[in-house]
Amino acid sequence: MNLENRKRELVKDFSPILLKSTKWNKIWMVILTAIILVGLYAFFLQLFKGHIVTGMRDNVVWGVYIINFIFFICLSYSGAFIGGILHFFKTPWKNSVSRIVEIITVLSLIIGPIFILLCIGRLDRLHYLFIYPRIQSPITWDIIAIITDLIGCFIYLYLTFIPDFAILRDNSEGMPKWRQKLYKKLAINYQDTPSQRERLHKITRTMSAMIIALAIVAYSVLAWIFSLTLQPGWNSTIFAPYFIIAGLYSGAAVIIIAMYLIRKYFKLQHYIRKVHFLGAGVVLLVLSLLYGYFTFSEYFSRWFSHKITDANLLDTLFTRYFWHFVFANYIGILLPIAILFFKKLRNIKTITFAAFIAVFGLWVNRYLIVVPTLETPYLPIQDTREEYIHYTATWVEWSLSLAGVAAFVLFFLLLMKLVPIIPMSGIIDNERENRKPVQKL
Amino acid sequence: MENNKDNKKATNRRKFLKLGLMSSVSAVAGASVLSNLAQDDEKTSSGEKVRVLTPEGKMVEVDAASINNYPEAHISPKEAREGIPNKSFVMVIDLARCKNARKCVEACQRGHNLDYHEEFMKVQLIQDNEEGSPYWFPKPCFHCEEPPCVTVCPTGATFKRSDNIVLIDNTRCIGCKFCITSCPYSARQFNWAHDGDDMENAEGLYSPETSTPQTEGTVIKCDFCPDLVRQGELPYCAKACPMGVIYFGDKNEDIVTNGSETVRFSELIAERGGYRHLEHLGTKPNVYYLPAVNRQFPLERGFEIEEDIIERYKDVPYVQDLKKKGKI
């Protein structure tokens, strides 16, 4: 019964985050909603005026949207991967970060596909994908993979939420009526009996292994959308593993950034500690070395064999996109390595800074994979009007991209109002096993 | 002498055609290709004889009055998926004769209701190597034997027909643009904006064979003009070329023609060193090129065009050279 008291204590601890909105919290919500509204306006503009309002043209038919799509899907994928690994191997300090990871996974998997929909010229015909499906098309594979992945991640996220819903239900005195009802529904009569607990752990464990597999499949298929075409910059055998490593890299980095912000703004220093940052920093270091290695191999073989089309592509990368290239593939990889490599340099702020550089660099790297390739096809672009040759994203594309990020943050904040960002059930489980207070992690 | 034999066959075919025409539109589609003979044999003879090519690829001489003047039959998107039976269309482009007169481009734009900047046929200025002299390179869709665009289409909006033609059904296309990125020849374009008049009353009028009227938000490309081919005409580009650069015909019959000259396809390719562009990609195009040897026009003739079109070649080193020398 000691544990019951502990549960009540925890709910009390977290209820300010759940129930009360600070002034800043409200201001942020308003700002985020405003950004999303501007994005919605841009969306309707694109819907009614056509894709002419974007910077995409005949040669660069995919632009910032597909880059955001890859970016968010790779966040989700790596979230699933990292979350699955944390859970499956029962990593000791996982509890404080696992929910952050899981929420990132699901949210980015909801926001990512919206960006691929923005690439589609006729949204009114979207159902044709199901009426006239063609299994040969990698797009069909992608749809199947993403939908399966989404369902899998949803189930997984929900499974990890159930014990917390139950705790909240049992300790909801004083909460608004709708919350009490909601928690009761969502807890699906979970009473935390040993048999229930064991069953839930078993299912969650199985799901955690499954979403790792699902994530690998989904992200490989996404990489194949590019690498199965004949385009000089895309037709590469290492694209699928390269994308997976790149995804993990950015995913780990985003998790670090999220940890930092949540710790700072919700005063959770007690739960999210330096040790988490150091651990995540080492993971990011390993991933940045791997990612750098893949990036190097990809460009090195293109440069060394210098087929004329590859040479043209590299030429573009080193002239028109010189600073992008330097930022994405030198600064974006080497700087995090430099910071994370030396133990003395590792602290919460530097690790977060390295993570920020990594995320931004990776986004630019995706840009370099998509845009310059489309600008240097096999047959040189000629007999095309000037404004159709190069790509510059318009405000519509930028505002929709920002809206995507804003929606991500807003949903994150809202979810944090629904369940504690640190799984209470995990703390209870730890204490039950160790009979020690949480301070020992 | 062969003609006599064929005349008999032709009569039978005429009867068949007549039946077909009366029964259904799709039967017309199937039956009459490259020659559309009249339904009324008993029409008064005009006395004028015309030589036409039958579906079997034989030349026959018929009365001019009996040549068909049907309005073109409407081929619905569903019917357009069937190729014209026993046909295997090919195009041969004679690079030695091209001087970038751009009549092919313009005729194609008129025929398909394209605007000034939309081109199914592009003319590129290619220089194979540093020593080689540049040449004009008209580039339609290659209607590949192994079309990457068709493989990647998630809805089957683009399809390969039995007669070699790769078409787009823009009532099916969702505009995902995957086919555009998968085409190594950049043959495909996107319909970016609403074009007012083109869109109106599209219902029932649209045929993938004519690619008109267009629909915003879908993919467009060269279609080999099957609507014209069904009526026994050459595609717009081949018809319009004043130099006879573009030959069009049927590989099964081994005949291609540029309108003024009809030759055996296999001989033309064998004798003139015909090749396909970027053969190593394995897409097996159905457009062949005859190398630009013994040119009939100096390359510079290609610059006798509008200023803004010359501007489209400004990135070609050769053009930059010419500009430096003040020649254009």
pLDDT tens digit sequence for A104-156: 999 999 999 999 999 999 999 999 999 999 999 999 999 999 999 999 999 99
* Distance to chain A for B179, nearest Cα, Å: 9
- Any idea what DSSP says for residue B155? S
Which of B38, B44, B46, B42 has the alpha carbon at shortest distance from B69? Answer: B38
Residues A123/A47, Cβ–Cβ less than 8 Å: yes
Q: Give me the mean pLDDT over the A252-277 stretch.
A: 90
Which chain A residues are Cβ-neighbours of B221 within 8 angstroms? none
Q: How confident is the model at residue B48 (pLDDT cuts 50, 70, 90)?
A: low
pLDDT tens digit sequence for A70-85: 999 989 888 888 888 8
Do the chains contact at B178 and A139, CB–CB below 8 Å?
yes
Which chain A residues are Cβ-neighbours of B318 within 8 angstroms? none
Residue B19, pLDDT > 50, answer: no
What are the residue ranges spanned by the domains of chain B?
Answer: 2-66, 79-290
**Angle between helices A23-49 and A395-418 in degrees, nearest 10:** 140
Quick one: how far is CA B128 from the chain centroid? Answer: 25
pLDDT tens digit sequence for B213-262: 888 899 999 999 999 999 889 999 999 999 999 999 999 999 999 999 99
Structure token digits, residue A295? 């990036």
Q: Give me the mean pLDDT over the A262-271 stretch.
A: 88
Indicate the range of A160-174, A272-286, B104-118, B190-204 predicted with least confidence: B190-204
| Residue type at A203 in one-letter notation | I
Residues A368/A325, Cβ–Cβ less than 8 Å: yes
Give the integer Cα–Cα distance in Å for A13 and A18.
10
Domain B79-290 has CATH 3.30.70.20: yes
Quick one: how far is CA A393 from the chain centroid? Answer: 22
Do the chains contact at A133 and B185, CB–CB below 8 Å?
no
* Distance to chain A for B326, nearest Cα, Å: 21
pLDDT tens digit sequence for A40-67: 999 999 998 889 999 998 899 999 999 9
Q: How confident is the model at residue A3 (pLDDT cuts 50, 70, 90)?
A: confident
Interface test with A, best of B124, B129, B149, B177 (most A CBs within 10 A): B177
Q: Give me the mean pLDDT over the A272-290 stretch.
A: 92
Q: Give me the mean pLDDT over the A342-364 stretch.
A: 94
Predicted local distance difference test score (pLDDT) of residue B148: 95
- Any idea what DSSP says for residue B276? -
- Maximal C-alpha separation, chain B: 67
- Any idea what DSSP says for residue B309? H
Length of chain A: 441
Residue B198, pLDDT > 60, answer: no
Predicted local distance difference test score (pLDDT) of residue B59: 73
Q: How confident is the model at residue A90 (pLDDT cuts 50, 70, 90)?
A: confident
Structure token digits, residue B196? 């007012």
Predicted local distance difference test score (pLDDT) of residue B194: 59
| Number of continuous H segments (helices) and E segments (strands) in chain B | 10, 13
Torsion sign (Cα): A143, A147, A152, A154: positive
Q: How confident is the model at residue B2 (pLDDT cuts 50, 70, 90)?
A: very low
Q: Considering only residues A91 and A13, tell me which one the structure prediction assigns the higher pLDDT.
A: A13
Provide the 10 A C-beta neighbour count for residue A92: 11
* Distance to chain A for B278, nearest Cα, Å: 9
Predicted local distance difference test score (pLDDT) of residue B6: 45
Residue with tokens 């499954």: A210
pLDDT tens digit sequence for A218-240: 899 999 999 999 998 899 999 99
Quick one: what percent of chain B has pLDDT higher than 70? Answer: 76
Q: How confident is the model at residue B45 (pLDDT cuts 50, 70, 90)?
A: low
Q: Considering only residues B18 and A430, tell me which one the structure prediction assigns the higher pLDDT.
A: A430
pLDDT tens digit sequence for A185-194: 999 999 988 8
Chain B from 115 to 154: CB within 8 A of any A CB: 117, 119, 122-125, 139, 148, 151-154
How far the first Cα of chain B sits from its last, in Å, is 55
Predicted local distance difference test score (pLDDT) of residue A266: 87
Do the chains contact at A383 and B124, CB–CB below 8 Å?
yes
Do the chains contact at B184 and A120, CB–CB below 8 Å?
no
* Distance to chain A for B316, nearest Cα, Å: 8
Residue A303, pLDDT > 60, answer: yes
Predicted local distance difference test score (pLDDT) of residue A15: 83
Give the integer Cα–Cα distance in Å for A126 and A139.
12
- Nearest chain A residue to B125, by CA: A382
Which chain B residues are Cβ-neighbours of A126 within 8 angstroms? 174
Predicted local distance difference test score (pLDDT) of residue B98: 94
Predicted local distance difference test score (pLDDT) of residue B12: 43
Q: How confident is the model at residue A32 (pLDDT cuts 50, 70, 90)?
A: very high
Give the integer Cα–Cα distance in Å for B128 and A294.
33
Residue B69, pLDDT > 60, answer: no
Structure token digits, residue B224? 């080999």
Do the chains contact at A386 and B182, CB–CB below 8 Å?
no
Partner residue opposite A50 with nearest CB, options B151, B152, B216: B216
What are the residue ranges spanned by the domains of chain A?
Answer: 1-128+141-222+396-441, 231-377
pLDDT tens digit sequence for B91-136: 999 999 999 999 999 999 999 988 888 899 999 999 988 888 899 9
Which chain A residues are Cβ-neighbours of B172 within 8 angstroms? 125, 128, 132
Indicate the range of A130-134, A177-181, B210-214 predicted with least confidence: B210-214
Q: Considering only residues B182 and A4, tell me which one the structure prediction assigns the higher pLDDT.
A: B182
Predicted local distance difference test score (pLDDT) of residue A435: 62
Predicted local distance difference test score (pLDDT) of residue A82: 87
Give the integer Cα–Cα distance in Å for A117 and B176.
8
pLDDT tens digit sequence for A370-389: 999 999 999 989 888 888 88
Predicted local distance difference test score (pLDDT) of residue B234: 95
B246 contacts: CB under 8 Å, gap ≥ 6? B91, B92, B93, B94, B104, B138, B234, B235, B237, B238, B258
Q: How far is CA A406 from CA A41, A45, A53, B276, in A?
A: 15, 19, 22, 50
Report chain A's mean pLDDT, rounded to a whole number: 90
* Distance to chain A for B183, nearest Cα, Å: 7
Q: Give me the mean pLDDT over the B297-302 stretch.
A: 88
Residue B61, pLDDT > 50, answer: yes
Give the integer Cα–Cα distance in Å for A291 and A256.
17
Predicted local distance difference test score (pLDDT) of residue B24: 36
